[in-house]
């Protein structure tokens, strides 16, 4: 499979956004020890980042509908290095939480506008593959955020790890500026007011509303699972180090490998059927983490990583092609729902952890996944499979 320069660019945009968003997750137990904070308190770092993304996402879509796509993407990628570095320099937990919130404000212009760019610049049949490449980059970024940060935290300290992430982010911004072509099919909005009216019209589209609900559940489950499984594995009887916990997140490679195949699966089985099957597999993976042997927990985490990333690829692609106009604002609303879900997953996951430990967190996630299946089944429009192209004679 040959990947073009602009496909590399959108993949790199996904990589950088998730590299920065999830960098604290594998080292939360370590940060809890350094700042003398419990699991529910230290998870506020993840809550702050997700909440900031949710708050700013609709407005970045509106700005991009007026200013343009590439300009917003590259500027945001360059700016995000600042709060990433400042987290490393913060002497208190409140300082880390504050700069995580600021970092979250910089993220929607990257992934939200990148998805809108894909929806507009690629033909419909090719857009699913482009979204798959973007999602593969995002999953690889999430993997590196957890694995590399965990290893570097053990070797050189978590502050050095964050400074290195800031340097990688700046280099990536330069690469995207060179590789990503200026948008060709972008139609500039008449102004912020017109774009805001378009955003409100998205709420009349039941397919978009249902997809926003799926997005909410997707990151809710991701954050609730991957935040608190770290505390589960850091505690008895496993007592894994930051490096070992980070290594478990190599399971993200499952999603990285499978994401580019999303387009083929959608064309073969239809979007609704694919999503229901993926969520069902995800439920099985979550349930498997209740097993005592560590290898079974790792296997369950691998299923969760792969299924969750595929669910994200399908739902984001559906938003990009379902919006009749104002693609950026439609994606912005999706991103808002997605990260409100992540913030809720961290907060409610913390309450579940306090109430009943890891089994309570698993029950919370399974309940949300059941709701997601019900929404997809009831609202998403069934799609007939797309016949493969036959070679011309």
- In three-state secondary structure terms, 17 is helix
Structure tokens at 26: 């594998």
Cα separation, 146 vs 23, in Å, equals 6
The answer to whether 17 touches 6, Cβ cutoff 8 Å, is no
pLDDT of residue 35: 92
Residue 380, token pair as written in the block: 């998403």
Q: What pLDDT is attached to residue 241?
A: 86
pLDDT value of position 365: 97
Residues of the chain with pLDDT under 70: 1-2, 61-68, 124-125, 185-200, 256, 320, 323-328, 383-393
3-state secondary structure of 92: coil
Cis peptide before 2 (omega within 30 of 0): no
Question: pTM, whole model, 2 decimals?
Answer: 0.75
The residue among 41, 19, 18, 42 whose CA lies nearest residue 31 is: 42
| Neighbour tally for 174: CB within 10 Å | 12
Copy the structure tokens of residue 138: 């995002």
Q: How many CB atoms lie within 10 A of CB 187?
A: 11
What pLDDT, on the 0 to 100 scale, is given for residue 392? Answer: 44
Answer positive or negative: Cα dihedral of 316, 322, 327, 333: negative
What six digits make up the tokens of 109?
Answer: 């212009």
Convert the pLDDT of each residue in 62-93 to its tens digit: 666 666 678 888 999 999 999 999 999 999 99
CATH fold of 5-181+196-379 reads Growth Hormone; Chain: A; (1.20.1250)
At 341, list the tokens: 């879900």
Question: Do 315 and 275 meet the contact criterion of CB atoms below 8 Å apart?
Answer: yes
* End-to-end alpha carbon distance in the chain: 23
Q: What is the largest CA-CA distance in the chain?
A: 70
DSSP-derived 3-state class of residue 108: helix
Token pair 């343009």 is found at 68
Q: How far is CA 193 from CA 82, 111, 184, 329, in A?
A: 31, 23, 23, 12
Compute CA distances 336 → 223, 227, 342, whole Å: 15, 20, 10
Q: What are phi and psi of 388, to 5 degrees?
A: -65, 150
Residue 393 confidence (pLDDT)? 39
Q: What is the pLDDT of residue 66?
A: 62
């Amino acid at each position: 499979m040959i990947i073009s320069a602009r496909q590399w660019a959108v993949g790199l945009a996904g990589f950088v956004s998730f590299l920065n968003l999830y960098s604290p997750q594998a080292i939360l137990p370590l940060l809890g020890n350094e700042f003398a904070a419990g699991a529910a308190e230290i998870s506020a770092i993840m809550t702050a980042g997700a909440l900031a993304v949710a708050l700013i996402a609709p407005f970045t879509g509106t700005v991009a509908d007026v200013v343009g796509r590439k300009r917003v993407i590259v500027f945001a990628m360059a700016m995000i290095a600042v709060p990433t570095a400042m987290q490393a320099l913060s002497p208190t937990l409140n300082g880390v939480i504050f700069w995580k919130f600021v970092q979250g404000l910089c993220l929607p212009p990257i992934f939200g506008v990148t998805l809108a760019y894909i929806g507009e610049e690629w033909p419909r049949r090719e857009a699913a593959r482009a979204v798959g490449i973007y999602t593969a980059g995002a999953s690889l970024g999430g993997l590196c955020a957890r694995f590399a940060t965990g290893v570097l935290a053990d070797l050189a300290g978590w502050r050095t790890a964050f400074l290195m992430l800031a340097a990688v982010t700046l280099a990536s911004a330069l690469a995207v500026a060179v590789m990503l072509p200026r948008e060709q099919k972008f139609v500039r909005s008449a102004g912020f007011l017109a774009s805001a009216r378009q955003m409100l019209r998205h709420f009349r589209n039941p397919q978009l509303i249902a997809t926003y609900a799926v997005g909410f559940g997707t990151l809710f489950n991701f954050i609730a699972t991957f935040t608190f499984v770290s505390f589960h594995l850091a505690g008895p009887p496993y007592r894994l180090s930051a490096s070992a916990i980070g290594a478990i997140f190599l399971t993200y490679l499952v999603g990285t490998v499978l994401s580019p195949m999303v387009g083929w699966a959608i064309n073969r089985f239809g979007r609704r059927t694919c999503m229901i099957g993926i969520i069902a597999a995800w439920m099985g993976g979550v349930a498997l983490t209740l097993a005592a042997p560590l290898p079974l927990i790792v296997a369950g985490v691998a299923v969760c990583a792969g299924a969750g990333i595929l669910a994200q690829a399908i739902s984001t692609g559906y938003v990009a092609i379902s919006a009749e106009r104002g693609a950026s604002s439609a994606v912005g609303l999706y991103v808002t729902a997605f990260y409100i879900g992540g913030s809720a997953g961290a907060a409610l996951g913390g309450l579940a952890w306090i109430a009943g430990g890891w089994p309570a967190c698993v029950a919370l996630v399974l309940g949300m996944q059941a709701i997601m299946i019900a929404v997809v089944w009831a609202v998403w429009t069934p799609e007939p499979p797309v016949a493969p192209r036959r070679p011309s004679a």
